[in-house]
Amino acid sequence: MPAKTKIIALLCATLGMGMLSGCAMHPDWVKPGQEEASVVNQIGAPDSRIEHPDGRFTLVYSGQPFGFETYWMHFDKDGRFIGKERTMNEEHFKLVKVGVHTKADIYQLFGRCAQEYDFRLQDQSAYMYRFEEVGGHRMAFWVQFDRKDVVTEWAITQDPWDNDGDSLILN
């Protein structure tokens, strides 16, 4: 097959896959009042669910590993969508409590991470979430755990997948 034909076939296949995946809605397109089942049918199964004492609940959707956002989709006690929050920001990172939260808690708050690391020499592991700062800089939010899966620290660095530098911001 000539190179030009291969390129056209590849483009057609890619476009077809993009059109199929385009059938799923993005969290930004969910309308107030939609029922939970409708949202899950359109967006897909959430990574986790957070129950609130008053009967409300939040579905957590992660765009990781290749996206830069996670969403909290809030529902009233009748199961109707009432609003959303983007959670890849310092306001939400500050909710992470060192010595209190566990790996399961972090997953419940932010969903699946971009990558999990195992630091054997430190006897720790970490979740890395990718996000973009307001200025468009690609960054990483790291949550580190001891071997009992309790949070030992969290930090913000430049996104290691972009290889644009190595600055570090500690909490």
Over residues 71-122, the pLDDT tens digits come to: 999 999 999 999 999 999 999 999 999 999 999 999 999 999 999 999 998 8
Query: Cis before residue 65, ω within 30 degrees of 0?
Result: yes
Task: Judge whether 28 lies within some domain.
Answer: no
Residue 160 belongs to domain spanning: 97-170
Structure tokens at 60: 């957590």
CA distances from 37 to 62, 97, 124, 135, 169 (A): 18, 32, 38, 36, 40
CATH of residue 123? 3.30.1450
Residue 146 placed within a domain: yes
Is 120 part of any domain?
yes
Q: State the pLDDT at residue 109.
A: 98
| pLDDT tens column, 35-52 | 999 999 999 999 999 999
Residue 80 domain-assigned (yes or no): no
Flag whether 141 is in a domain. yes
Split into its structural domains, the chain has a count of: 1
4 pLDDT exceeds 60? no
How sure is the predictor about 10, in pLDDT bands with cuts at 50, 70 and 90? very low
Domain assignment of residue 37, yes or no:
no
The answer to whether the CB of 81 falls within 8 A of the CB of 30 is: yes
